[in-house]
């Protein structure tokens, strides 16, 4: 039997700068001055040692638990740090949040751009969401066109 290979992303010394830039570009709706231990530990892990797919999966699951508990400040920071790594699943979640407008100001243009990039890269869920996005946009566009009176 072949041993399972664990994919590991290398350390990223620029992660803090990438996180700050993302936070400036997509400011959380629920800003906080709190330093969350989970965010600090995740930044340190990425900066010094890198991360595995399993670690990212655990962070994403933790993010969803935080959302259920309505801990929006911490969840927003965690998803921005995760997206700052350019990990597809983290960027996908940020794109959904930018569309939804719960953690960040709704930004359909940025969301559409992220979905498009991810879909071109083969991210199946992003492709599905992109199709729904376009369907909804076309529906709204049709509703805005005034109907002509028939003679």
Q: Using one digit for the tens of pLDDT, what is the confidence trace for 31-47?
A: 778 899 999 999 999 99
Nearest to 26 by CA among 89, 100, 88, 87: 100
Higher-scoring residue by pLDDT: 139, 113 = 113
What residue spans define the domains of the chain?
A: 10-107
pLDDT value of residue 31 = 77
Could you tell me which of 107, 129, 108, 109 has the C-alpha nearest to residue 118? Answer: 129
**Model confidence pLDDT, tens digit, residues 13-25:** 999 999 999 999 9
Which SS3 state, helix, strand or coil, does residue 70 take?
coil
Q: Which of 67, 86, 87 is nearest to 76 (CA)?
A: 67
Q: Is the pLDDT of residue 97 over 90?
A: yes
How much is the pTM? 0.84
């Amino acid at each position: 039997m072949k041993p399972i290979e664990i994919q590991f992303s290398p350390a990223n010394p620029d992660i803090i700068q990438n996180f700050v830039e993302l936070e400036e570009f997509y400011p959380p709706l629920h800003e906080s001055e709190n330093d969350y231990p989970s965010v600090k530990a995740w930044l340190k892990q990425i900066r010094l040692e890198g991360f595995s797919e399993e670690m990212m999966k655990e962070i994403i699951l933790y993010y969803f638990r935080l959302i259920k508990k309505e801990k929006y400040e911490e969840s927003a920071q965690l998803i921005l740090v995760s997206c700052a790594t350019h990990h597809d699943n983290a960027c996908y979640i940020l794109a959904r949040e930018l569309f939804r407008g719960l953690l960040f100001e709704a930004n359909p243009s940025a969301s559409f751009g992220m979905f498009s990039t991810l879909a071109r890269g083969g991210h199946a869920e992003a492709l599905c969401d992109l199709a729904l996005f376009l369907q909804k946009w076309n529906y709204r566009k049709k509703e805005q066109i005034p109907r002509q009176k028939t003679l």
